Amino acid sequence: MNNMRNTMSLIILCLACSCSQTNNTLSKTPIDKEATSNIAELYNRLFLLSETGILLGHQDDPAYGHGWFGIDGKSDVKDMTGDYPAVTGLELGHIELGATHNLDSVNFNNMKEYVREASARGGIVTFSWHGDNPATGGSSWDCAQDTVVRSILVGGSNHAHYLLWLDRLADFFLCLKDDCGMPIPVIFRMYHEHTGDWFWWGSAQCTPDEYKQLWIMTQTYLRTAKNVHNLLYAYSSSNAQSEEHYLERYPGDEYVDVLGFDHYLKGQTPEDVAQYKTDFERNLRIVTAYAEKSGKLPIVGETGEESVWDATYFTGILYPILQQYRPAWVLFWRNAWEPDKPNHYYLPYPGHPAEADFKAFVETPLILMNQDVKL
């Protein structure tokens, strides 16, 4: 009897939150043929939204910001603009170790709550993963070796150990459920900035073929061994020089849903700004052109300028390029909470000299916030 009552309550609850709508008019198909129906809905929704504007994204927005950590409902973006970003970026580094907190001290259980809250508001969640070096136990940035990727591929000495790490990653994704127990669809931007040489999966650390094998092995394991089907997969290079360069390590259209790149404005001279504009524009051109050809969703995986020193960055530097190429979203990196990183922030905060420029950027019809993507 109790069981029956529980079942009835569950059915009513699920109808109330309309968790299981299906839409037969979906034209974009995620690469995972067994993807949950809401993954296909999310993918198609992102394409539709991209016709109306560019979603604003911010890394770790609900977890902390400049000068604060772990305050429910708080957000540097909301404190400036009155609304949450449409895209929430979160970071999985150290999930592979079975840790309770990620490498930036965010508790993984709280993170699941951030995912639930953002997606219940209609927001989109994307994950990065600065996983540790599985061969040395060092960080992602421990890239002195060029055998790490080879050692975790099938037949390698660290393969079994790495599968344990993937098990923990999979368990996290499998735990992402809404109030009705339905899997929450999210984007996984894995092994990012691989055309650079600062992570153990980077271009100086493995061959193009090894990188592709790493990608395919990870994805196949998550999908087929672990039954993770609530992910869209994002491929995000660092500064690419050409389409050929961008695709040199590309695992193939059948393994990628979302195409992006990460590129920052580094340095403060006029030459640095000019170089950033040139590089950012070229990368966005490469990504949007290949996305068009392959039917994928183009994004800017990460960008910004540390400490937002140029108070016209958003409207003066970024906006004209974004307007021309129209990626689905642009994600700004984190506003660090750590007292020893006072200048490590990529969006302003209330009272910062670039606040007005950021607000003007957000107020343009091109930029979409959480209110604009409400379900």
Q: Which residues bind ligand BMA (CB under 6 A)?
A: 91, 93, 103-104, 130, 334
Q: Which is nearer to ligand BMA, 130 or 285 (CB)?
A: 130
Q: Which is nearer to ligand BMA, 41 or 91 (CB)?
A: 91
Q: Which is nearer to ligand BMA, 203 or 288 (CB)?
A: 203
Q: Which is nearer to ligand BMA, 46 or 187 (CB)?
A: 187
Please state the closest distance from residue 59 (CB atom) to ligand BMA, in A. Answer: 7
Q: Which is nearer to ligand BMA, 106 or 328 (CB)?
A: 106
User: Which position's Cβ is nearest ligand BMA?
Assistant: 91
Structure tokens at 31: 């690469």
**Residues near 343 by beta carbon (within 8 Å), at least 6 away in sequence:** 306, 307
Please state the closest distance from residue 46 (CB atom) to ligand BMA, in A. Answer: 23
Please state the closest distance from residue 154 (CB atom) to ligand BMA, in A. Answer: 28
Please state the closest distance from residue 21 (CB atom) to ligand BMA, in A. Answer: 34
Q: Which is nearer to ligand BMA, 91 or 210 (CB)?
A: 91
HEC-encoded secondary structure of the chain: CHHHHHHHHHHHHHHHCCCCCCCCCCCCCCCCCCCCHHHHHHHHHHHHHHHHCEEEEEECCCCEECCEECCCCCCHHHHHHCCCECEEEEECCCHHHCCCECCCCCEHHHHHHHHHHHHHCCCEEEEECCCCCCCCCCCCCCCCCCCHHHHHCCCCCCHHHHHHHHHHHHHHHHCCECCCCCECCEEEECCCCCCCCCCCCCCCCCCHHHHHHHHHHHHHHHHHHCCCCCEEEEEEECCCCCHHHHHCCCCCHHHCCEEEEEEEECCCCHHHHHHHHHHHHHHHHHHHHHHHHHCCEECEEEEEEHHHCCCCHHHHHHHHHHHHHCCCEEEECCCCCCCCCCCCCCCCCCCCCCHHHHHHHHHCCCEEEHHHHCC
Please state the closest distance from residue 336 (CB atom) to ligand BMA, in A. Answer: 6
**Rounded CA gap, 170 and 324, in Å?**
38
Please state the closest distance from residue 283 (CB atom) to ligand BMA, in A. Answer: 18
Q: Which is nearer to ligand BMA, 277 or 341 (CB)?
A: 341
> What is the pairing mode between strands 64-65 and 68-69?
antiparallel
Q: Which is nearer to ligand BMA, 30 or 93 (CB)?
A: 93
Please state the closest distance from residue 93 (CB atom) to ligand BMA, in A. Answer: 6
Q: Are 311 and 354 in contact (CB under 8 A)?
A: yes
Structure tokens at 136: 């040395």
Q: Which is nearer to ligand BMA, 192 or 223 (CB)?
A: 192
Please state the closest distance from residue 249 (CB atom) to ligand BMA, in A. Answer: 20
Please state the closest distance from residue 66 (CB atom) to ligand BMA, in A. Answer: 13
Q: Are 311 and 357 in contact (CB under 8 A)?
A: yes
Structure tokens at 175: 């735990």
Q: Which is nearer to ligand BMA, 104 or 357 (CB)?
A: 104
Please state the closest distance from residue 346 (CB atom) to ligand BMA, in A. Answer: 9
